[in-house]
Amino acid sequence: MWNQLIQYFQTLEQRPLERMAFLVGGLLVFWIIEGAIPLIQPAYKKNKLRHAVVNFSFTVMHLVIHTFLAILIVLLSDWCKMAGFGLVYWTNAGILATVLISFLLLDFIGSWLAHFTEHKLSFLWRFHVVHHADNNVDVTTGLRHHPIESVLRGLFFFIAIFISGAPMYAVMIFQTITVLFTAFTHANIRLPKQVDYLLSFVFISPNMHKVHHHWQQPYTDSNYGAVLSVWDRLFGTYRQLEPSKIRYGLDRYYPNEQDENFMLLLKKPFGKME
């Protein structure tokens, strides 16, 4: 079974339709669930579909960029394998250990550290703020990223592969899980409070990530994780806030009434940021 699983993920990068199925499937599932058990009653400018179209416009751009980044990811992962470079090769890790080591480093460097850095460096923040400017966080917000941010995050991902030596099957396992978690943690869903809280001890839960989208610091600068919550707990960036107190948006940078203005969101990072 393990060999079949590894073989499946080893070649998944070569099957874009199947990869897209994970993305679209996750979005559709949580789109339906958030309509049934919303955490916060949304106040869309027009309607949910219009809001989704704006966010999907960024998603399309992200996917085009990732298509080119994927070529470099494959080349780097294959080089690590041929050169025996990276932690998984230096430790002679078996399959399970390889997946674990790769997952931890990809999640820490490629997700948590990249995200943390975007909040700390003003040049990176001006692009990342497009993600935070959404006044109605839902499942579609998860892939609302400025194209420049997609490139910058790709650089951190390359570093994570370089250090870990992650083979392609480990990279694809991580990316598949991350896609599903991105939909899950951004979805406007109300889990039982205790379930969400217990989940947050290991993974990023919906409530935990919604705190990150709160408009005020220090909450905005907290809960940076993508899949695992251990990094935020370890580095002291974990915060809690009652969902009823959460308010989305960043009107310091964009007027709240313009949070669905696609062209403004696309161009603003290149101009003056208040």
- What lies within 8 Å, CB to CB, of 105 at 6+ separation is 87, 160, 163, 164, 166
Q: What is the pLDDT of residue 273?
A: 67
How distant is the alpha carbon of residue 93 from its chain centre?
Answer: 27
Amino acid in the structure at residue 97: A
- What lies within 8 Å, CB to CB, of 145 at 6+ separation is 58, 62, 128, 130, 131, 153
Measured CA to CA in angstroms, residue 107 lies from 82, 121, 126, 155 at distances of: 24, 20, 23, 14
Indicate the SS3 state at residue 39.
Answer: coil
Q: What is the pLDDT of residue 63?
A: 84
Residue numbers in the chain where pLDDT is lower than 70? 1, 251, 273-274
Of the candidates 88, 67, 65, the residue with the CA atom closest to the CA atom of residue 16: 67
CB neighbours of residue 202 within 10 Å? 12
Contact yes or no for 149/60 (Cβ under 8 A): no
Q: What is the pLDDT of residue 251?
A: 66
Could you give the CA distance from residue 51 to residue 48 in angstroms, rounded to a whole number?
Answer: 5
DSSP 55-105: HHHHHHHHHHHHHHHHHHHHHHHHHHHHHT-SHHHHTT--HHHHHHHHHHH
- What lies within 8 Å, CB to CB, of 267 at 6+ separation is none
Q: What is the pLDDT of residue 80?
A: 97
Contact yes or no for 156/109 (Cβ under 8 A): yes
Q: What is the pLDDT of residue 197?
A: 93
Measured CA to CA in angstroms, residue 261 lies from 8, 220, 254 at distances of: 40, 22, 10
User: 228 - beta bridge partners?
Assistant: 203
pTM for the whole thing?
A: 0.92
Q: What is the pLDDT of residue 198?
A: 95
Could you give the CA distance from residue 64 to residue 25 in angstroms, rounded to a whole number?
Answer: 19
3-state helix, strand, coil in the chain (%, to 5): 70, 0, 30
The residue whose two tokens read 């409530």 is: 207
Q: How many residues does the chain have?
A: 274
Q: What is the pLDDT of residue 185?
A: 95
Q: What is the pLDDT of residue 274?
A: 60
- Residue 46 structure tokens: 């027009």
- Residue 159 structure tokens: 């570093």
